[in-house]
Amino acid sequence: MISRERIDGSRDELRRELEEFLRMPSVSARAKGGDGFRGYAEWVRDRFREAGAEARLMETAGHPVVYAEIGTGDRTLLSYGHYDVQPPEPLNLWESEPFEPAVRGGSIYARGVADDKGDVMARIQALRLYIEEHGEPPFKLKFLIEGEEEVGSPNLEAFVHENRELLAADACLWEGSMKDEAGRPMIFCGTKGLAYVELRARGASHDLHSMYGGIAPNPAWRLVQALRTIKDEEGEITVDGINELIEAPSESDLEAIRNIPFDEAALRASWGVEALDRNLTGEDALKEMLLRPTANIAGIHSGYTGPGSKTIVPSEAFVKMDFRLVAGQSPGPVVELLRSHLRRRGFEDLEVVALHGVEAAKTPVDAPVVQTALETWKDVGQEEAVVYPTVGGSGPTSLIAHDLGIPTIMTGGIVNPESRIHAPNESARLEDYFEAVRYFARFFERFGDGG
């Protein structure tokens, strides 16, 4: 087992390599292809090669995938991550440059350190330490690192389906997990699906003086009225037929929920709110977050929103909504249910535009890879790791977990509740980072021993 002393003796080297990665502005939302973005993928490829793996770039219709492989044997472990990051804006809210890593109070601040460059780098460094200690692993270890996760992985589905045999594995480590408010590692066994839509309403051909407010059609009011039919006063989603699609959670999922130490007060404090939505508490809040779908308003725009007053009837309005979906629900059918729901209530004039969707993914909480993750946490001194049947977020996890049938979990614990993923001042605690390097090295050891 890689000792804590071995990690401690390499901290400066490990940190310098991580910081080099973080300096790369690999913002996929802005990249239009070309050598700049490809260079980031080549850098990741070269780190795998230096660690001892065979690595290459594999082309997609967008940014290249980095694929690496090492080892032989009857069992195979696949590791997924991404080298692209979110845009850093608004820049004025950063306390240091987003692509110039800075250490404050024991944490390292930079765009991508928590999502997902820290996790990718920790696994590469864990591989290097493993090989230095043991040589080539007695199992096949594969890495899939994509460059478009932050824009919805538009080319990953085709890549996975075209390379089914190459990616075949007995288990998959998805991009890293996090620690809760008490510092307990969290192991996630699934992700919610997602249907991201835009509802658009139109009125007159141009903005009108609000003197016509009593007779002119107002698209903003039209949207408000339509939205009111999607959730009721109790916060329940009322889209016709949407709840009938839900697969009932297993007893093992419900047992996992009962075993989660949910610190509601700490969560409310971190958000700066006095109560959760609908005053949910305890196990009810966990079930809502992990096992129930959501209908979230992500943004609304219409008319004049600048300083002072401007009395108009707007000519158009739109709302962006994301529906987080659970097992049994699929983005295509859910969007069609939404369209039908609105038509039946007289809102056939609203345009429903499907922007993005992913399927829900689920691995049983009692799968062998989950037990390996738990035992590995104990090996590195974390006795209270917690298993979650799923996480409230979404990703292309179903491509591996369902399309390829590979048990897939999220573990690693670099992220913490204050990491501010996707926000200014994204961070990770250095202690968590170095622990993650040791954790993944130990996970590889356990997997190689048949764990």
pLDDT of residue 152: 86
Query: Which of 108, 93, 94, 89 lies closest to 22, judged by CA?
Result: 108
pLDDT of residue 35: 64
Instruction: Evaluate whether residue 274 is within a structural domain.
Output: no
Q: Is 448 helix (H, G, I), strand (E, B) or coil?
A: helix
123/213 same-domain check: no
Among 338, 358, 378, give the residue marking a domain's end.
358
Instruction: Evaluate whether residue 258 is within a structural domain.
Output: no
Tokens standing for 9? 């003796």
Residues 326/293, Cβ–Cβ less than 8 Å: yes
pLDDT of residue 308: 96
24/111 same-domain check: yes
Instruction: Evaluate whether residue 279 is within a structural domain.
Output: no
CA distances to 18, 47, 375, 445 from 134, in Å: 23, 19, 20, 9
How many Å apart are CA 262 and CA 267, to the nearest integer? 9
Residues 82/148, Cβ–Cβ less than 8 Å: yes
pLDDT of residue 350: 98
Q: What residue has token string 């249907």?
A: 195
354/208 same-domain check: yes
Q: What is the DSSP letter of 249?
A: P
Among 305, 333, 358, give the residue marking a domain's end.
358
72/136 same-domain check: yes
How many Å apart are CA 359 and CA 390, to the nearest integer? 13
Helices (H), 209-263: 219-227, 251-258
Give the CATH number, domain containing residue 205: 3.30.70.360
Q: Which residues lie below 8 Å from residue 309, measured CB to CB, with a gap of 6+?
A: none
Give the CATH number, domain containing residue 149: 3.40.630.10
88/219 same-domain check: no
Domains held by the chain: number:
2
Tokens standing for 263? 């610190």
Instruction: Please state the pTM of the whole predicted model.
Output: 0.91
Tokens standing for 337? 């249910």
163/311 same-domain check: no
pLDDT of residue 36: 82
Q: What is the DSSP letter of 64?
A: P
Q: Which residues lie below 8 Å from residue 192, measured CB to CB, with a gap of 6+?
A: 293, 324, 325, 326, 360, 390, 391, 392, 393, 394
pLDDT of residue 221: 98
291/423 same-domain check: no
Among 310, 330, 358, give the residue marking a domain's end.
358
Kind plus residue range of the DSSP H or E element containing 330: none
Peptide bond into 307 cis (omega under 30): no
Say what the alpha-carbon torsion angle 363, 368, 369, 370 is, to the nearest 10 degrees.
70
Instruction: Evaluate whether residue 272 is within a structural domain.
Output: no
294/374 same-domain check: no
41/17 same-domain check: yes
110/53 same-domain check: yes
Domain that holds residue 128: 4-189+363-448
pLDDT of residue 168: 98
Residues 404/167, Cβ–Cβ less than 8 Å: yes
Instruction: Evaluate whether residue 266 is within a structural domain.
Output: no
What is the chain's pLDDT, residue by residue, as a tens digit (451 residues)?
A: 888 899 999 999 999 999 999 999 999 998 765 568 999 999 999 999 999 999 999 999 999 999 999 999 999 999 999 999 999 999 999 999 999 999 999 999 999 999 999 999 999 999 999 999 999 999 999 999 999 999 889 999 999 999 999 999 999 999 989 999 899 999 999 999 999 999 999 999 999 999 999 999 999 999 999 999 999 988 899 999 999 999 999 999 999 999 999 988 988 988 899 999 999 999 999 999 999 999 999 999 999 999 999 999 999 999 999 999 999 999 999 999 999 999 999 999 999 999 989 999 999 999 999 999 999 999 999 999 999 999 998 889 999 999 999 999 999 999 999 999 999 999 999 999 999 999 999 999 999 998 7
Residues 270/417, Cβ–Cβ less than 8 Å: yes
Instruction: Evaluate whether residue 243 is within a structural domain.
Output: yes
How many Å apart are CA 66 and CA 235, to the nearest integer? 43
Residues 178/439, Cβ–Cβ less than 8 Å: no
- Side chain identity, residue 142: K
Kind plus residue range of the DSSP H or E element containing 265: helix 264-271
247/168 same-domain check: no
